[in-house]
Amino acid sequence: MLGQRSFSDLGTPLYDVTFVILDLETTGATAANCEITEIGAVKYRGGELIGTFQSLINPGAPIPPTITVLTGITQAMVIDAPKIDEGMASLLEFIGDAVIVGHNIRFDMSFLNAAALRLGYGRLSNRTVDTIGLARRLVQTEVRNLKLSSLAAHFRSPTKPNHRALEDARATAHVFFELLERAGSVGATYLEDLLRLPTAKGRPHYDKLHLTDRLPRLPGVYLFHDLDDNVIYVGKAKNLRSRVRSYFYGDTRRSVTTMLRNLARVDHRVCPTELEAEITELRLIHAMAPRYNRRSRPPKTTHWLKLTAEHHPRLSIVRTYRDEGSSYLGPFRSKQAAETVMTAIWDAVPIRRCTGGPGRATAACNYAQLGIAMCPCAGDIDEARYTQVCEDVRVGIAHEPERLLAPLAERMKARARDQRFEDAALARDRFQALAGSLNRRRQWQSLQAAGRLWVESADGDSALIDQGRLASTWTSGDGSPLFNIAGDDALEPSQVPTSIALQEEVQIVWRWLIRPGSRVIDTVSPLASPARPVPSLEALAG
């Protein structure tokens, strides 16, 4: 059951929206040096007329003859009319918080905002709808042009536009409600849909918008299916209906166009919290590997970096994690990512790089000859010193990260002093890759040690986390979960996550845990980070 917490971007049914359809007559084309001469507006709610506003305005300046010819408004007609300060006060009271509708609404709003700013009201915050934009989206192929007179004639408006404000506003209202009927036929039945409709770019697939009609305005996960009912995309949303519909409103990416072409059905799963939606999305992507998901898609091969258990240990990239007492980092999505971290450690300590055993070569390998690695291949390795190098790697990974990171920071500073900026940037990137890997390892081990956690966030969401994995979530209105906090259904202990999916879930959970205001309600063991944090590059580089 969902709690009482509201979510942003919830839509409003069009029958609950108050619309004010207005038109202005002015002394010219630009608000910078022209003035309003007449205001006409009609107010509707639920399709019913609930108010009318009409007033001539004394512009305080001569009305050009061309404007008099066009509108029929003469200088004599406005001599006794109210000034704009009086007219604006009455108009703003009439409009209130309604949605403002007009034909070429930008023109009308430019004059209203100019007057409102000049009079100290500030810019109008009302949302606006332009009947030109709606007509372009919905009936452009049915009319010769998008002029108000053409649209009024096309929809057989009882009021003919005549360049007088109230009559033009009434004609615009008739056109607007005809366009609303067309908009409803393609699924735009909420205000948010109507506001986005004029800018929709997905014309070739816009007829599929009806596939979103059953989506709720709640947080959760959505799944796109193709004609063979295969899941081709998985995503998460705070508002399922709004997010899925956004693909039809202005997303011109080629991949999205192709995805919509193959779209046949939209499924969804409502989640009580955003955290659960994010985790559910991740799990579904790893389980189904939808072809249009790029982020979080499971890699073909997973890699770990391992300090081997040989007599002279070395770093090795492996595809299988085995808890055999060796030190591990990872998992990594690609071999290249693992190689970056391995090279970072190579730069920090002179650990063996070659695979040759003691005395098997007539000469030392290239790494040993260059003095950048201690290798046993030539048979003259200093055993005590090499043992210390391996100890630096083990302790650096497990407890004292500065043993590995401080040399990298110093290396970056030295390259920068020598103006070898590309090499300095390379050292920086390797530092960050190693630091990130060490941090992820620590997050995993902290959550493993804590066991089961009941955590509540600042906004009232709660979660049960079991050794880094999300077990359940609920909102403040749902009470507390029924579970045995001392339960022993645990994962086998491991140094690092045993899959990419598990590592990425732990990262999501950890980000949620450390948000300001989160607090642990109950736990099997304390949630604690190592006493010596992974230092930042700034802290070490000074």
Amino acid letter at 444? W
Q: How far is it, in rounded angstroms, from Cα 85 to Cα 87? A: 6
What DSSP string runs through 499-510?
Answer: SHHHHHHHHHHH
Residue with tokens 């909420």: 190
- CA 484 vs CA 87, 234, 453, 454: distances in Å: 68, 33, 11, 11
Q: 422: burial class by Cβ within 10 Å (0-12, 13-18, 19+)?
A: exposed
* SS3 of residue 191 by DSSP: helix
Amino acid letter at 369? Q
Q: Does residue 240 contact residue 212 with C-beta atoms inside 8 Å?
A: no
Residue of 103, 163, 311, 312 marked active site: 163
Element (H, E) at 453: strand 452-456
Q: Does residue 7 contact residue 218 with C-beta atoms inside 8 Å?
A: yes
Q: How far is it, in rounded angstroms, from Cα 124 to Cα 136? A: 25
Cα-based angle 51, 53, 56 (whole degrees, multiple of 5): 170
Q: How far is it, in rounded angstroms, from Cα 88 to Cα 240? A: 40
Q: How far is it, in rounded angstroms, from Cα 156 to Cα 172? A: 12
Neighbours of 368 (CB within 10 A): 23
Judge whether 303 counts as a catalytic residue.
no
Positions marked active-site: 163
